[in-house]
């Protein structure tokens, strides 16, 4: 059953996904729709409420998104944030004007004499996060101004009779300490939504959707060892039992201990039917002499799907396998312009951003994507409730092409062994320091085509550098480098240069995303 849905209307905001996540943290299901979605299409979806996001434009800029006033006569509760607040005011007959001076960053919000529903009982002044060049200078008729700031006379307004409200600031960011409470009040007290989007309800709804889709059919899932494919498989197995078969392709590009972890921990937790295929030599032969990153991805993707096809044929000797399970997450859906509710699925060519990347264009399956409505943090909670061990649920993201794209240069057996050893040391030390939950992930990169002079013992060396890339992120859309303690960095560096013979230098990547990406290739 589709839960009550809040639509986040995205006007180009850097925080649109964060808004959607914050709504879900209030136990209300949310989805993102483009800012140019027609009103009739929005109304047809029967949302429980709308949240209008911020955006980079001035309401006066040529081509800036313009709200259709009909949006506010459809009886749908609406909350405008930042640009959405200004566009809402303008569409309803209020007045918006350029500030002359912009208001960016931490700002003190002053709650008015009439605090309204959203700010009632909150401190009379408290910090919020602003980012605007225009301001609402006159609220629309029927609205009560409930807060102001130094440069924004109208920083919040409400018309609770029509279930409409807006704030100039960003309640979704951590810099607005009362922001989550403001969002909760809108959802429950203004829009009248009863919270119900819980981990248990997610599992129940998704299992039901998978059963309805697969029917009496059989499904196969390519396990990567990561949390997404593991949780997807666990949900599908709960839905269809032994009619799911999982295939784990050991392509030789895995990190130390990953195969054993999948074969031991995942099977023990789920009892799933697992087939492991060992084809390291095949992948190394295909990658011989290749240095271009995109070519590597395509080769790895091509070989993976061919091996997977062969494994599927073996599984389906007696009975046709009609469905392929994938661990597609909601950010993938947003980036590719799609979207549907929990348990949503479709029949489509496998896209390159799913799982391994660079897959051939001629492969089509009926896809089962049980996680396509979820963010990564929700996936982890679902995995925990399904009984998966922390070694899987808490695993940091790892690219489908594996270590093949963490070697800058040709991929060889010796280089893989060198990188595996360095990566294992970095992971061991981060775990020992209790930092696994502090960082999003820490790619370890081997600069195989670079050598530098060093001194080890009494001799001169000419070894490879290893790059550490610790990053912090909420959804991998943006990321910052993690400020690891110096003593942890020192232990990692000392151990790698002492224990990994081919490495004589360890360097730290301190680039944010953007401009850099999380992975080097």
How far apart, in Å, do the first and last CA atoms of the chain sit?
41
CA angle 512, 515, 519 (to 5 degrees): 70
Measuring CA to CA, how many Å separate 411 from each of 1, 368, 416, 417? 48, 33, 7, 10
Is 294 known to be catalytic? no
Beta bridge partner(s), residue 365: 348
Query: CA of 218: how far to CAs of 52, 213, 273, 475, in Å?
Result: 42, 11, 12, 32
Determine which one of 31, 82, 158, 251 is catalytic. Answer: 82
Rounded distance between C-alpha atoms, residue 293 and residue 77, angstroms: 48
Residues 31, 172, 369, 429: which is the catalytic one?
172
* C-alpha 181 chain-centroid distance: 23
401, 301 contact by CB (below 8 A): yes
Distances in Å between the Cα of 326 and the Cα atoms of 117, 149, 150, 212, 353 are 43, 47, 50, 17, 11
Q: Write a three-state SS string for 196-212.
A: CCCHHHHHHHHHHHHHH
Strand partners, 87: none
Do the Cβ atoms of 143 and 164 come closer than 8 Å? yes
Asked if 102 and 133 count as a contact pair (C-beta separation under 8 A), the reply is: yes
Q: How far is Cα 436 from Cα 380, in angstroms, rounded to an integer? A: 14
Residue pair 342/209 in contact by the 8 Å Cβ criterion: yes
Residue 237 and residue 246: Cα distance in Å, rounded? 10
Instruction: Supply φ then ψ for residue 295, to 5 degrees.
Output: -65, -40
Q: Is 170 a catalytic residue?
A: yes
User: 31, 103, 132, 170: which one is catalytic?
Assistant: 170
Phi, psi values for residue 47, rounded to 5°: -70, 150
- What is the C-alpha separation between 388 and 227, in angstroms, rounded? 9
Secondary structure (3-state) at 377? helix
> CA quadruple 183, 186, 191, 195: dihedral positive or negative?
positive
Question: In Å, what is the CA distance from 348 to each residue of 223, 279, 375, 476?
Answer: 20, 27, 22, 25
Q: How far is CA 482 from the centre of its chain?
A: 18
Q: Read out DSSP for 306-324?
A: HHHHHHHHHHTSSS---EE
Q: How many Cα atoms are found within 13 Å in the side-chain-facing hemisphere of 451?
A: 6
- Residues labelled catalytic: 82, 170, 172
């Amino acid at each position: 059953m589709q839960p009550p849905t809040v639509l986040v209307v995205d006007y180009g905001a850097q925080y649109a996904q964060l808004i959607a996540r914050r709504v879900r943290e209030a136990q209300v299901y949310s989805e993102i729709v483009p800012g140019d979605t027609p009103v009739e299409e929005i109304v047809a979806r029967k949302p429980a409420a709308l949240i209008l996001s911020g955006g980079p434009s001035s309401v006066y800029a040529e081509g800036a998104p313009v709200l259709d006033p009909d949006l506010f006569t459809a009886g749908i509760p609406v909350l405008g944030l930042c640009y959405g607040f200004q566009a809402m005011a303008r569409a309803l007959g209020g007045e918006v004007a350029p500030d002359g001076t912009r208001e960016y960053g931490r700002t003190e919000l002053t709650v008015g004499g009439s605090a309204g529903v959203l700010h009632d009982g909150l401190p009379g002044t408290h910090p919020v996060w602003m980012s605007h060049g225009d301001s609402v200078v006159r609220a629309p008729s029927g609205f009560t101004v409930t807060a102001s700031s130094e440069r924004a006379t109208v920083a919040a307004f409400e018309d609770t009779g029509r279930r409409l409200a807006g704030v100039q600031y960003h309640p979704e960011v951590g810099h607005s300490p009362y922001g989550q409470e403001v969002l909760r009040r809108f959802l429950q007290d203004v829009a009248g939504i009863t919270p119900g989007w819980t981990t248990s309800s997610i599992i129940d709804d998704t299992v039901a959707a998978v059963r309805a889709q697969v029917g009496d059919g059989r499904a196969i899932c390519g396990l990567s060892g990561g949390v997404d494919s593991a949780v997807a498989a666990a949900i599908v197995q709960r839905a269809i039992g032994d009619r799911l078969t999982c295939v784990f392709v050991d392509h030789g590009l895995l990190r130390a201990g990953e195969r054993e972890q999948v074969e031991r921990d995942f099977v023990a937790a789920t009892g799933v039917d697992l087939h492991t295929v060992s084809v390291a030599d095949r992948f190394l032969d295909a990658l011989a002499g290749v240095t271009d990153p995109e070519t590597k991805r395509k080769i790895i993707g091509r070989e993976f799907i061919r091996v997977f096809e062969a494994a599927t044929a073996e599984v389906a000797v007696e009975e046709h396998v009609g469905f392929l399970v994938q661990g597609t997450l909601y950010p993938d859906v947003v980036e590719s312009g799609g979207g549907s509710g929990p348990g949503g699925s479709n029949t489509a060519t496998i896209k390159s951003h799913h799982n391994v990347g660079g897959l051939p264009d001629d492969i089509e399956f009926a896809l089962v994507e049980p996680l396509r409505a979820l963010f990564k943090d929700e996936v982890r909670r679902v995995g925990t409730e399904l009984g998966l061990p922390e070694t899987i649920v808490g695993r940091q993201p790892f690219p489908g092409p594996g270590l093949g794209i963490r070697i800058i240069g040709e991929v060889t057996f010796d280089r893989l062994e060198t990188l595996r050893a360095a990566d294992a040391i970095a992971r061991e030390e981060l775990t020992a320091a209790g930092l696994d939950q502090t960082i999003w992930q820490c790619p370890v990169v081997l600069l195989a085509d670079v050598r530098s002079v060093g001194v080890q013992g009494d001799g001169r060396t000419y070894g490879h550098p290893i790059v550490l890339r610790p990053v912090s992120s909420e959804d991998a859309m943006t990321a910052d480098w993690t400020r690891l303690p110096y003593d942890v960095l020192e232990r990692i560096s000392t151990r790698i240069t002492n224990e990994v013979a081919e490495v004589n230098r360890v360097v730290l990547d301190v680039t944010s995303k953007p401009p850099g990406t999380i992975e080097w290739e």
